[in-house]
Amino acid sequence: MYPMTINGQSVVTDAGHDVPDPATGEVVGQAPLCTAQHLHDAVAAAQIAQKIWAARPDEERRDACRKMSAIISDNAEELAELLTKEQGKPLKTMGAEFEVGGAAAWAGYAADLEMPVKILQDDDTARIEQHRVPVGVVGSITPWNWPLLIAVWHIVPAIRAGNAVVIKPSPNTPLSTLRMVELLNTVLPAGVLNCVTGDGHIGALMSEHKDINKIVFTGSTATGKNIMQSAAGSLKRLTLELGGNDAGIILPDVDPKAIAEGVFWGAFLNMGQTCAALKRLYVHNSIYDEMCAALVDLAANMPMGHGLDPATVVGPLQNPMQLNIVADLVDDARAKGARILCGGARAGGTGNFYPITFVADIEAGTKLVDEEQFGTALPIIRYDDVEDAIAQANSLDVGLAASVWSSDADAARAVAERLEAGTVYINQHGQIAPHVPFGGIKGSGIGVEFGQEGLEANTDIKIYNIAKAG
Ligand code: NAD
């Protein structure tokens, strides 16, 4: 059993659960099933450790970020292999090695962030200073798609800002987080970073826990709403990174072959199990067939298999539930008269494999367009009037990212300005960076991660208002 870490100690439980390899069903390892008492212990340890941590010199917290980055890099091989085994993503090709590399990069970036004191007024009457102070104990709840990267996005800025953290990974992919937290604890004081494992019940207990001051959550919109409700009782600070259904609009002036690869990976990074993946593609009628053909050609050359096989480019979906969602959405589209250009049925044999699937001649009102598929199927919607494409792109109650593709910079910009999303890409989709704030609007979330704003989301403002003798 992979141990939890509570107050710097390794903790296992009598009860545990198996974590299967999504490609084979074989057991990768066991995760503990934490009790309410374990959670209370972790929060109590975090509360004590946080006070000491926040009182340490800032340089020590910077240094901790550098050390966390280094320890992830030093153990990249082990972490990446474990990630492939439990999550399913290929080891290579923007898969597990890419994710672990990103985790190290994001951790290192946090070291150089500053939280300068702002002098708001300094005159004969008063000196007024604005400081950023840690919120206290941050509870982090993560999903199964990018378990290590998202864990680092939650953990490192919180610790950099002087908080202590209790993280709960998804029960689908707990092992890599348990191991990473164990490693990170070798460079952190006991209690600053704790990890407990369990299902949504433990997440709900965290959301209502009176001694957790903030929840940072990445996952589905439905769970985000539940968390917001449970958090209301203690007025927790919240950062919610939720689901999306990103639209991409292809203007008629593009060369379909030239953009096909960018569109393909915008949609299918991590087998489409990426919050800001392209999930609805609107293509102008004049190039519709050519665009479809270019994408289908690419799909034909993407070997699917176990993530540890170096030839694999497309791995399995992470869990049977997600496989069923994708299969049902494609079946529904087919039943409504849409055209399946490639894929369109589960692969035979073991594992949660569903091949890359493009679905043409499909319209709004079909579930594959209106709902987030989070998998290896992309609906391609034909349009004649760009006004109609923009209206359809904006018609849903989510707004994580969107993209517009054109060889005319002005035309692309004009469409981009009208798309309702936290990030609008031009001629690319899904790129993120540690210095660029990222978050959703509408049902896609509250707040941002990354950059200065992401760091400040782990703080409260404290004002010192000092009278001057008259
Ligand atoms: P999920 O919401 O089912 O679960 C996420 C986490 O929440 C898990 O750790 C789960 O145990 C926990 N949880 C479940 N019920 C809870 C409750 N009532 N209270 C507190 N915690 C609870 O999501 P998932 O299936 O793991 O992930 C897929 C979804 O996440 C997709 O909708 C995707 O778009 C979204 N996502 C969003 C982003 C983003 O940055 N916006 C990133 C990745 C994934």
Task: Give 354-410 pLDDT, tens digit per residue.
Answer: 999 999 999 999 999 999 999 999 999 999 999 999 999 999 999 999 999 999 999
Closest by alpha carbon to 32, among 1, 74, 76, 78?
Answer: 1
Give the other-Cβ count within 10 Å of 414's Cβ. Answer: 14
The whole-number average pLDDT for the span 144-166 is 98
Instruction: Answer yes or no: is the C-beta of 275 below 6 A from any ligand 1 atom.
Output: yes
Instruction: Answer yes or no: is the C-beta of 170 below 6 A from any ligand 1 atom.
Output: yes
Host H or E run for residue 195: strand 193-195
Q: Could you tell me the distance, in angstroms and rounded to a whole number, from the CA of residue 217 to the centre of ligand 1?
A: 7
Tens digit of pLDDT for each residue in 423-437?
Answer: 999 999 999 999 999
Question: Which comes out higher in pLDDT, residue 375 or 470?
Answer: 375
Q: Could you tell me the distance, in angstroms and rounded to a whole number, from the CA of residue 167 to the centre of ligand 1?
A: 13
Across the chain, what does the average pLDDT equal?
97
Q: Look up residue 307 and give its amino acid.
A: G
Measured in residues, the chain has a length of 470
Tens digit of pLDDT for each residue in 32-57?
Answer: 999 999 999 999 999 999 999 999 99
Q: Which own/partner contact pairs does 447-455 have at CB distance under 8 Å and 24+ positions apart?
A: 447/238, 447/239, 447/240, 448/239, 448/422, 449/153, 449/154, 449/157, 449/216, 449/239, 449/241, 450/106, 450/153, 452/113, 454/153, 454/157, 455/110, 455/113, 455/115, 455/157, 455/160, 455/161
Instruction: Answer yes or no: is the C-beta of 143 below 6 A from any ligand 1 atom.
Output: yes
d(CA 186, CA 4): 14
The active-site residue, picked from 241, 292, 372, 449, is 241
186, pLDDT greater than 90: yes
Instruction: Answer yes or no: is the C-beta of 196 below 6 A from any ligand 1 atom.
Output: no
- The residue to mutate among 175, 223, 226, having the most atoms of ligand 1 within 8 angstroms of its beta carbon, is 223
Look up tokens 């109609």; give the residue.
Answer: 388
Please tell me the number of Cα atoms within 13 Å of 436 on its side-chain side.
8
The active-site residue, picked from 275, 292, 372, 449, is 275
Q: pTM of the entire structure? A: 0.97
314, pLDDT greater than 70: yes
Q: Is 206 exposed, middle or buried (0-12, 13-18, 19+ CB in 10 A)?
A: buried
Beta bridge partners of 240: 217, 446
The whole-number average pLDDT for the span 248-262 is 98
Closest by alpha carbon to 262, among 291, 305, 303?
Answer: 291
Is there a catalytic annotation at residue 292? no
Which residues lie closer than 8 Å to 409 by C-beta, 6 or more apart? 426
Q: Which residue has the least CA distance to atom 16 on ligand 1? A: 200
Whether the CA torsion 161, 167, 173, 177 is positive or negative: it is: positive
The whole-number average pLDDT for the span 191-196 is 98
The whole-number average pLDDT for the span 308-337 is 97
70, pLDDT greater than 90: yes
pLDDT at residue 93, rounded to an integer: 84
470, pLDDT greater than 80: no
- The residue to mutate among 146, 212, 220, having the most atoms of ligand 1 within 8 angstroms of its beta carbon, is 220
Helices (H), 276-401: 288-299, 320-335, 367-370, 386-393
Question: Which comes out higher in pLDDT, residue 287 or 470?
Answer: 287
Percent of all residues in the chain with a pLDDT value above 90, rounded to a whole number: 99
